Amino acid sequence: MSGYIPSYDGLELFFTRDPVEASRAAILIVHGMAEHCGRYDYVKGKLNAAGYSVYRYDNRGHGKSKGTRGHLDSFDPLIDDANFMIDLVAKENPNLPVFMLGHSMGGFIAAAFGARYPGKVKGIILSAAATNSANLKQILPPAVPDPMVPIPNALSSLISTDPAVVKAYEEDPLVLKETTLGLLDQFCKGQVWLNENESAFHYPCLILHGGGDQIVPAADSKRFYENIPSQDKSLKIYDGLYHEIMNEPIKDTVIADIISWINERL
């Protein structure tokens, strides 16, 4: 089932829900920059088969959601949209543990949600999470005179070692071909906020990253793992994998690791 729902500020988000009978848990998937939730159909299928109900949504300005396409005026709505969706998942599944799974920018969103909103989910899974502001700071100007300057999406060849995944990404009409300087600037500001508030992250957390990731360095996940005070935290680096570890040839292994971690906490 899919449709639109007004978020906390009224902006309409496109979302999908895929419940299963006798569900063991509910999982909210948060996608990365320039992509959309439809790219997680395979992951959704595996999670459903494991007995989990799955919710997904397009970040504002992405996919089918409303908002200026590929642009942000503030990073806060990304985090607060995730919180709004978690509240929806919890309301519709009052007797189930709820988890959040975020990839790349979605990993930043999940990590920032964890720092801003304690005690709301059973655990958080981060995939190639963009948690370190240092990377964007190196390429962004110190001031942004025109936030609407377009920035081409030139990262397709680096998302996966699987050429079919790259081709599908490039041909997907819902994948943004460009974002704006304003989105990158606000994303960086959000990462700065996260770096300043990592001490507030106490959730059980599984942190996963590809060792060959050339978009978000695996060292960023190692740094985040070391900095958060969570008592229940795990880090796994997959040698040679590129950025989209759930879209690599060994994706079933990665997803199985996620399922195993969740099962241990049910």
Q: What is the pLDDT of residues 134-160, one digit of tens each?
A: 999 998 988 888 999 999 999 999 999
Q: What is the mean pLDDT of the chain?
A: 97
Average pLDDT over residues 221-230: 98
Q: Is-catalytic flag, 213?
A: yes
Q: What is the pLDDT of residues 95-125, one digit of tens each?
A: 999 999 999 999 999 999 999 999 999 999 9
Average pLDDT over residues 162-185: 98
CA dist., res. 170 & res. 155, Å (int)? 10
Domains belonging to the chain, first-starting first, are: 2-263 (3.40.50.1820)
Q: In degrees, to the nearest 5, what angle opens at C-alpha 113 toward C-alphas 112 and 116?
A: 85
pTM: predicted TM-score of the whole model, two decimal places: 0.98
Q: In degrees, to the nearest 5, what angle opens at C-alpha 39 toward C-alphas 38 and 41?
A: 70
Q: Is-catalytic flag, 243?
A: yes
Catalytic residue among 58, 213, 220, 221: 213
Please list the residues that pair with 208 across neighbouring strands.
127, 236
Task: Specify the pLDDT at position 141.
Answer: 87
Catalytic residue among 104, 127, 133, 160: 104
Catalytic residue among 31, 36, 103, 243: 243
Task: Specify the pLDDT at position 142.
Answer: 85
Average pLDDT over residues 40-47: 98
Q: What is the pLDDT of residues 235-260, one digit of tens each?
A: 999 999 999 999 999 999 999 999 99
